């Protein structure tokens, strides 16, 4: 068995290129483009996970929905993993928005899955938006079961977790 040396560029090169193209395309043609930061908390079976990440929202002209991506680092005392969700958000309201959302995500740990959530947003001075996100993440990952007689079985395992986060985003284009 051979191991490839871990380098930041090798692992994240394609993701960085795609993310740059994605964000430049959305920024140039968006009616509304918001970017910001968020902090989160995920209580999960005796462990407390925390997150720090960004928030990018693209809303087409006169639309009641937006396309969002919120890359974040989820960490505890022993490890960290990067999560890249992408989801649609239905926008209800103007100054105070109540926004249900649904989408999918992948993690650098190999997990993947779907998410649903409820966001509450409040606009300040038509330039900043304070928000709270409450999301249910349904993780799926590959596990191996080792039998008594030497056989191995691969199967897909799953788990669910609630994540709470707050943050602020700035309206870059309106």
Sequence ranges of the domains in the chain: 10-173
DSSP-assigned states of every residue in 68-134: EE--EEEE-SS-EEEEEEEEEEE-B-SSEEEEEEEEEEEETTS-EEEEEEEEEEEEETTTEEEEEEE
Q: Which CATH number fits domain 10-173: 3.10.20.30, 3.30.1490.20, 2.40.160.20, 3.40.109.10?
A: 2.40.160.20
Contact residues for 42 (Cβ-Cβ < 8 A; gap 6+): 48, 49, 50, 51, 74, 161, 162, 163, 164
Averaged pLDDT, 157-174: 87
Residue in 70, 63, 64 with CA at minimum distance from that of residue 35: 70
Q: Check pLDDT > 50 for residue 5.
A: no
Q: What is the pLDDT of residues 79-117, one digit of tens each?
A: 888 889 999 999 999 889 999 999 999 988 888 899 999
Q: Are 118 and 101 spatial neighbours (Cβ–Cβ below 8 Å)?
A: yes
Q: What is the pLDDT of residues 112-160, one digit of tens each?
A: 899 999 999 999 988 899 999 999 999 888 888 787 777 787 878 788 8
| Cα–Cα dist 40/50, whole Å | 6
Q: Are 24 and 149 spatial neighbours (Cβ–Cβ below 8 Å)?
A: no
pTM recorded for the entire structure: 0.76
């Amino acid at each position: 068995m051979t191991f490839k040396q871990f380098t930041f560029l090798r692992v994240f090169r394609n993701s960085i290129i795609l993310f740059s193209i994605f964000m430049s395309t959305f920024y140039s043609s968006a009616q509304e483009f918001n970017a910001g930061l968020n902090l989160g908390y995920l209580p999960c079976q005796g462990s407390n996970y925390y997150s720090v990440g960004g928030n990018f929202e693209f809303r087409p002209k006169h639309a009641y929905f937006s396309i969002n991506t919120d890359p974040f680092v989820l960490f505890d005392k022993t490890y960290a993993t990067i999560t890249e969700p992408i989801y649609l958000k239905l926008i209800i309201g103007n100054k105070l928005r109540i926004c249900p959302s649904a989408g999918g995500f992948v993690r650098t740990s190999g997990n993947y899955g779907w998410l649903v959530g409820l966001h509450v947003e409040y606009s300040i001075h038509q330039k900043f938006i304070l928000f709270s996100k409450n999301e249910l993440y349904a993780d799926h990952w590959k596990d191996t079961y080792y039998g008594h007689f030497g056989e191995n079985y691969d199967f897909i395992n799953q788990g669910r977790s609630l994540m709470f986060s707050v943050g602020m985003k700035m309206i870059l284009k309106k």
